[in-house]
Amino acid sequence: MKWILVLGLVALSESLITIPLQKIQPLRERLREKDLLKDFLEKSPYNLISKYLGRLQMMEVSYEPLRNYLDLAYMGTISIGTPPQEFKVIFDTGSTDLWVPSIYCYSPACAHHNVFNPLRSSTFQFLGQPLSLSYGTGSMKGFLASDTVKECLSPTSTQASPNPTSQGFTQKHRPLPQVTGLPEVVQEFGLSIQEPGQFMDSVPFDGILGLAYPTLGIRGTTPFFDNLWRQGLVSQGLFAFYLTNEEKNSSVVMFGGVDPAYYKGELNWVPVTRPFFWQFTVSSISMNGAVIGCDSGCHAILDTGTSLVTGPPEPIFNIQRIINARQSYGGEYIMDCEAINTLPDIIITINGVDYPLPASAYIRQERTGICYSNFLATPGNLSREIWILGDVFLRLYFSVFDRENNRIGLAPAA
């Protein structure tokens, strides 16, 4: 049986759709380095968990809670239209819809990003439905459209604006992932006409490509992955992420299967408890055998669009106290960098399997030499025990998002 499984994975990997991802410096770090973060947070308070709460829908406008842009860390490149127009997007398991800026956007933020020009695409279709993606500090407003979408194999953009954060980092370890042909697909997507300047004006990506369940998305539309799956353009109804700390093109998202070269051992499968987000049950969070969070079990969400580990205030503050993290003037938690070498692992137990987070993962040392805790409390008005495991966790564990069987696969990253 084991050989059958291995042969199946090899065969599956031969038909993978693989897209390289670039690690970017999160906006939070960029603002902190310039000593602008405290002022930014005071002027633009945000609700990290807002996208996980209920959403309002009306007949005329579709609303979907959007995310906290401060901590997004990985992006890839797609093209839309004929001939193709290139966009950098976040492949985000915490939201569902695809959207990019349009030439009709009048917000200052759009002047610093690639914008889609419908007049230059022979395959563009205007669908007309108003669109509003809302979150704590404002909303992206626009309209729904349809056009061809594929990944970019080369810089063929017909509308390219310079990206000030692009850098020529050199790959150190793994060879560049093989881009294996995302087929061209006709896809519904949002085009912005208004964007919140405080957020979008400062980020290096142009838009979002969501990979959560369709129930979270714009009513009446088919999300990107579901489109591939329903048309038989992927081998299986799943996708996977391999995320690293390296700056450029060593991380990867793969559609239609998994490549065993990216993980060690066997995948451990975890059932999805709520097919809305990629939500599952965590048994406990512990250190040195003592439970320090999630003591009676809790709900968690696996989210490629969040770089930190977040949870309810009380257990997060308890963890900050245990690891001796001290609150700074900007509300963040600073740590002694020597703690990276002395603090024990924090263990997240999921479906009977322990997933260690070493101190080198839950403490981050920035270019300034200052160290910060990678734990963050969600807003106090959220009483439910919901945790979000972001890139801090996902860089350690290769992750498979299996829509076909409503489960998540986890294994140590290679």
Please state, in angstroms and rounded to a whole number, the distance separating the CA atoms of residues 241 and 182: 16
| Backbone angles phi and psi of 173, in degrees to 5 | -120, -80
Q: Which amino acid is at 184?
A: E
Please state, in angstroms and rounded to a whole number, the distance separating the CA atoms of residues 22 and 178: 14
For residue 323, the tally of other CB atoms under 10 A from its CB is 21
For residue 313, the tally of other CB atoms under 10 A from its CB is 15
For residue 324, the tally of other CB atoms under 10 A from its CB is 12
CA dihedral 200, 203, 209, 214 (to 10 degrees): -50
Helix (H, G, I), strand (E, B) or coil at 413: strand
Give whole-number Cα distances, 159 to 50, 108, 121, 344, in Å.
Answer: 33, 17, 11, 49
| Backbone angles phi and psi of 326, in degrees to 5 | -110, 135
Please state, in angstroms and rounded to a whole number, the distance separating the CA atoms of residues 85 and 116: 7
Question: Which residues are designated catalytic?
Answer: 92, 303
Please state, in angstroms and rounded to a whole number, the distance separating the CA atoms of residues 401 and 409: 7
Please state, in angstroms and rounded to a whole number, the distance separating the CA atoms of residues 392 and 97: 24
Say if CB 310 and CB 390 are below 8 A apart.
yes
Largest CA distance in the chain: 62
Beta strands 284-287 and 346-350 are antiparallel
Closest CA to 65 of 132, 123, 9: 132
List, in sequence order, the alpha helices (H) in 130-196: none
- Check the CA dihedral 126-118-254-256 and report its sign: positive
Please state, in angstroms and rounded to a whole number, the distance separating the CA atoms of residues 243 and 178: 15
Closest CA to 386 of 271, 274, 240, 239: 274
